[in-house]
Structure 1
Amino acid sequence: MISSSPPPTQKPTVSLVIPGRNCAQTLEKCLNSVVPLLDQGELQEILFVDDGSTDNTAEIARRYPVQVITGTGGGPGAARNLGWRQAKSEYIWFIDSDCVAEPDALQRLIPHLENPEVAGAGGSYANLYPDSLLATLIHEEIIARHRRMPLEVNFLGGFNVLYRRTLLDELNGFDESETNGPGAAGAEDCDFSFRAVRSGHLLHFEFNSRVGHHHPRNLLKYLKTQAQHGRFRVQLYLRNRDKIQGDSYANGVDYIQPPLAIMSLAMIPLSAVTLWGTYALSALIFLLLSLQSPMLCSIRTPSWLLALTFIPFGFLRAYARGIGMTQGMVTFGNPTPQQSTSIREHHAKQNGVAS
């Protein structure tokens, strides 16, 4: 009798989804880095979601062997959902349109999902502007945070993450209200990873899976973006109150800085007329500067002189985030009827209740 061996396990297929809006300056490099994976058989397909671009983004995308999907300008959450719902594969890999994938970025994520209990795996960044001081500071801070992240995490960024399609189906995709408008950054990736862990799934972090990123090089534009981050973080934590004290990426030292910055601004009028107001303002500023020390000791720039610039950098960013959080409290702390409905629908989806 001839014994028959079991059939070989079929390798899971992977679809890549790239959301983007007005990304003509970065999209070509992004696609050049991932299209070779189609020929190598690592990707079954690439789907680019043009989220309401007004430049020649879509024209650039159509030069490549990718499926171009026309979005509505609903933000990254809506664009990601359009993409993965039209994808054909078991695994969905997301990267951003301003990222350049390293050749082994995907292959370093896939082994994590060989564990059936792991529903997603995310990676880290490389710096595409090493000659820029601002980009280097931003990058080295991110890498310092990534170095201390454990294998099992409760937070994964959407810039380089691989999810099972079954998880995306189960959680009904990304929350489309977690955005600041067309083309603006949102918290939909944070919210999704929080919900995944809350639903009992494991998420893994892989430091050696990297995509190069076009980190900001203009300080004012960066601070404006950080204000947007502060604003949508309020919405995120109103919906995920258990993460207010921190997650796998950030901690209480980070979260206390924006409120301290706003408190110091509020003390300026009192400092002009009272001595205790001056003391209080000085103490708040000193404390805010001191809170930059833990990260200062973690980042790895070429010299200490460069590293020391992180202190004023982090100090200014705390004010930008604080202003954004104040705007967020005004907007989301007293929601309109439409926003209240969105919040109820969000919680209904989390709990598996039909809205």
Structure 2
Amino acid sequence: MTEAQAGDAPDPLVSVVVVTYNSAPTVGETLSSLAAQTYPDDRYEIVVVDGGSSDDTERVVAEYDAEFHVVDGGTIGACRNHGIDVVDAEYVAFTDSDCAVPATWLRSLVDRMVDAADHIAGIGGPNRPFPDDPAFAKLVGSLQGTVFGSGGSPQSHAIDRVREVRSVACCNVIYDAAVLEKHRFDGDINVGEDAELHFRLSEAGLRFLFDPKIAVSHHLSSDIASFTKKARSYGYSMARIQRRHGKLIRWYSPLPSAALGGGAVAFLADLTAQRARYVPLLALAYLLVSAYATAQVYRDRRSPLALFVPVLLAAQYGFYGIGFLEGLTAADPVPQELP
């Protein structure tokens, strides 16, 4: 239902919560984009929740019309919950402090949310690299748009139609506030807090609508070190979250670790038999997977940098798998950042 269809009825009130930590270089870009929304100024507010930054984040936020709250030492999950606690609106939207949203972002999310069925907890869309981001970040964005780069996660812009999904990225989402009154983020979780909440929502029969046209710009990993660190961190957190629930949250999450284990077994088997039999077969399978992903990335980027996709896939799978194994064996199943 659009504003015109609603007649004289006012637009729903929306609170936009931005969680931040040491984001002085990027949070201004985020808040500037939120200030430029086509949604009526008197029908939405911006709330920034800071996890205890030590840089100039607070000074940058003060330049914008936004409330500023501090949860010193708080996890991302705890900061998101604090944002929910201090707002009073019909809908609660989230984006991150390294993102920028289009001017029509809130208008598009609200219009879809108003018309959504009762079992829809929220609306989300893809996140893509900024046009002026480094070439490596754009390559990562294209890789994550492939089925092998993202496991088919709806953050991928390869999903080209509106569809129901079990989870969306929390850097681009709007929730029905009534849902968040009953279901909160886990305040112990610092990575993967959205996946964990959305798993519980899906278990309760709720779903999200994914709209590929409602996209936000997101600063992705700009070098191999940050890329592999993030992959390891996601693997670590996902393993610990799944340990807590005692079941798979995402079916594909153990596969990189299984591939690492299978590769080690194949190597030992070939070494014992003194003949190359299993390792070449695994290498061939990987080459086929990476060739398919490379073709998809090249089609998206039209850049020779697509030739680096096999290296990036190996790094992503390898470090995610290592992190997952570390998470499985960690003493405390509460998912925090890597030690």
TM-score, normalised with respect to structure 2: 0.83
Deviation at 1:170, TM superposition (A): 1.0
**1:57–1:304 Cα change, 3 Å:** closer
Residue 277 of structure 2 corresponds to residue 279 of structure 1: yes
Which stretches in structure 1 are left out of the alignment for 5+ residues? Answer: 1-5, 180-185, 246-251, 344-355
**Which of 281, 288, 291 is matched with 1:290 structurally?**
288
Does the aligned pair in 2 maintain the 1:264–1:285 contact within 8 Å?
no
Does the aligned pair in 1 maintain the 2:45–2:66 contact within 8 Å?
yes
Does the aligned pair in 1 maintain the 2:38–2:104 contact within 8 Å?
no
**Matched letter for residue 127 of structure 1:** P
Deviation at 1:220, TM superposition (A): 1.3
Give the corresponding residue for 1:248: none
Residue aligned with 2:107, SS = coil
Deviation at 1:43, TM superposition (A): 4.7
Deviations 1:199-249 (A, max 9, x none): 12231011111211111111112101111111111123332725442xxxx
CA distance in 1, matches of 2:178, 2:192: 21
**Matched letter for residue 308 of structure 1:** L
Residue aligned with 1:217, SS = coil
Give the corresponding residue for 2:181: 169
Residue aligned with 1:166, SS = helix
Give the corresponding residue for 1:101: 101
Deviation at 1:119, TM superposition (A): 2.1
Residue aligned with 2:281, SS = helix
**Matched letter for residue 192 of structure 2:** A
Runs ≥4 in structure 1, deviation > 6 angstroms? none
**1:224–1:10 Cα change, 3 Å:** same
Residue 247 of structure 2 corresponds to residue 241 of structure 1: yes
Deviation at 1:294, TM superposition (A): 4.0
Does the aligned pair in 1 maintain the 2:123–2:175 contact within 8 Å?
yes
CA distance in 1, matches of 2:326, 2:202: 29
Deviations 1:235-273 (A, max 9, x none): 23332725442xxxxxx4x75234213443566567666
CA RMSD of aligned residues (A): 2.7
Give the corresponding residue for 2:139: 137
CA distance in 1, matches of 2:329, 2:105: 40
**Matched letter for residue 129 of structure 2:** N
Deviation at 1:167, TM superposition (A): 0.5
Deviation at 1:61, TM superposition (A): 1.1
Does the aligned pair in 2 maintain the 1:130–1:136 contact within 8 Å?
no
Residue aligned with 2:327, SS = helix
CA distance in 2, matches of 1:46, 1:199: 29
Residue aligned with 1:309, SS = helix
CA distance in 2, matches of 1:56, 1:267: 51
Does the aligned pair in 1 maintain the 2:39–2:107 contact within 8 Å?
no
Give the corresponding residue for 2:87: 87
CA distance in 1, matches of 2:11, 2:318: 49
**Matched letter for residue 176 of structure 1:** G
Deviation at 1:72, TM superposition (A): 2.4
Which stretches in structure 2 are left out of the alignment for 5+ residues? Answer: 1-5, 147-155
Deviation at 1:121, TM superposition (A): 0.4
Does the aligned pair in 2 maintain the 1:16–1:43 contact within 8 Å?
no
Does the aligned pair in 2 maintain the 1:15–1:89 contact within 8 Å?
yes
Deviation at 1:135, TM superposition (A): 1.1
Residue aligned with 1:212, SS = strand
Give the corresponding residue for 2:3: none
Deviation at 1:196, TM superposition (A): 1.6
**Matched letter for residue 229 of structure 2:** K
Residue aligned with 1:241, SS = coil
Q: Percent identity?
A: 22
Give the corresponding residue for 1:228: 233
CA distance in 2, matches of 1:228, 1:217: 16
